[in-house]
Amino acid sequence: MKLKEFLSDNLPLGKGSVKIPIEGYIQNYRKRYNTLKDEKAFKFEAYRTGIHGRVFAHVKVPSETLDRFYYDVLLEIDSNPTAISLRDCDVKFFSNCPSFVYTYAYVLYHTGTEETDSKGSKKKSSSGLMIDMLKGKIPKDRLLVPGTEEKLGDDVLGNPPQSRNPHMIAMLDKSVYYAIFYLLDEVPLRYIVNTRRFRSENQILDSVEDFDTLMLKRKQEERREKAKKESKQKEREKEVKVVKRGNTMQAVRVTKPTKPTAAKRVAPTRAANSRSVHKIKGT
């Protein structure tokens, strides 16, 4: 499926079906991406499995809430000679960000342009982006990057997101949109499709963190940052107490009454001496 369909103002649910207005949805993510890019660094690598093999763009998307934490976004890109931009390419998606895993991974795993019937024969999908609810019908050409299933686990791909995505709409989460914006803004398409960084499929998948493992690391980082914030808060409270104590002591020194000054003894003056009273002799 062409990437530009996920970037348009309206997302089609299938051929001839209604379209979902997503313009505001994308604009919100674009604003958040711009803020995130100004504050934190993205990381990027392009891989190819062979001279005429599969092409991948691997973007490390920084967390919006944690300081030193990244999510792996993997895009498999199938370009054609007439493609001018990444928007013109057929793209498959993967992310180990929870918003992708719990909301869209299951749907993209079951959604594609081809389906396989019970006899193993290919047939064209008529459902477009909408999921085929029949069990055992996983499209070979699904929108989830093939091979990334092992990074998610059966509990994710075997259970529909009934509460988070009850209508089974194949959309993209914030981490994938952030990666797309980064590629569109910072990386020319020719750099990706002409890459000479050859890796096997296993090597590429090994560069992507397993979801369960990443979530354990996330909890550790959350605890570390929480402890760091608590330590800083205690230091600030300690500094405030020291300042208050200093101000109190200063106030006491200023208002403390002083001892009265003893009166100085003044020596009698000559005038006073001249007025001394003498005994009067009798006559």
Within-domain flag for 260: no
Q: Is 87 left (phi over 0), alpha (psi -120 to 50) or beta?
A: alpha
- Dig out the tokens for 75 from the structure: 């895009």
Q: What angle is formed at CA 252 by the lines to CA 251 and CA 254, rounded to 5 degrees?
A: 65
- pLDDT tens digits for range 81-126: 889 999 999 999 999 999 999 999 999 999 885 544 444 444 544 4
Which single residue is written with the structure tokens 């090994």?
A: 206
The whole-number pLDDT of residue 35 equals 98
CB 64 within 8 A of CB 74: no
pLDDT by residue (tens digit) across 194-222?
999 999 999 999 999 999 999 999 999 99
Per-residue pLDDT of the chain (283 residues), as tens digits, is 899 999 999 987 766 678 889 999 999 999 999 999 999 999 999 999 999 999 999 999 999 999 999 999 999 999 888 899 999 999 999 999 999 999 999 999 998 855 444 444 445 444 445 544 434 567 878 999 999 999 997 789 989 999 999 989 999 999 999 999 999 999 999 999 999 999 999 999 999 999 999 999 999 999 999 998 888 888 888 888 788 777 777 777 766 666 666 666 666 655 555 555 555 455 4
Is position 71 within any domain?
yes
Domain encompassing residue 53: 4-210
Sign of CA dihedral 108, 144, 154, 135: positive
Q: Provide the pLDDT for residue 201.
A: 95
Q: Report phi then psi at 206, rounded to 5.
A: -65, -25
99 inside domain:
yes
The answer to whether the CB of 246 falls within 8 A of the CB of 93 is no
Contact 115, 123 (CB under 8 A): yes
Helix ranges (H only) for the chain are: 4-7, 23-39, 98-101, 105-109, 154-157, 174-186, 189-193, 201-206, 211-255, 270-274
Number of domains in the chain: 1
The answer to whether residue 240 is domain-embedded is: no
**Is the CB of residue 138 less than 8 Å from the CB of residue 109?**
yes
DSSP 21-55: E-HHHHHHHHHHHHHHHHHS--EEEEEESSTTS-E
Within a domain: 74: yes
Q: What are the CA-CA distances from residue 100 to residues 49, 164, 188, 273 (Å)? A: 25, 11, 25, 109
Is 104 part of any domain?
A: yes
Domain membership of residue 226 (yes or no) is: no
Residue 136 covered by a domain = yes
The predicted pLDDT at position 139 comes to: 80
The pLDDT assigned to 113 comes to: 58
pTM: 0.77
CA 147 to chain centre: 25
pLDDT at 125: 46
Enter the tokens of residue 227: 């402890």
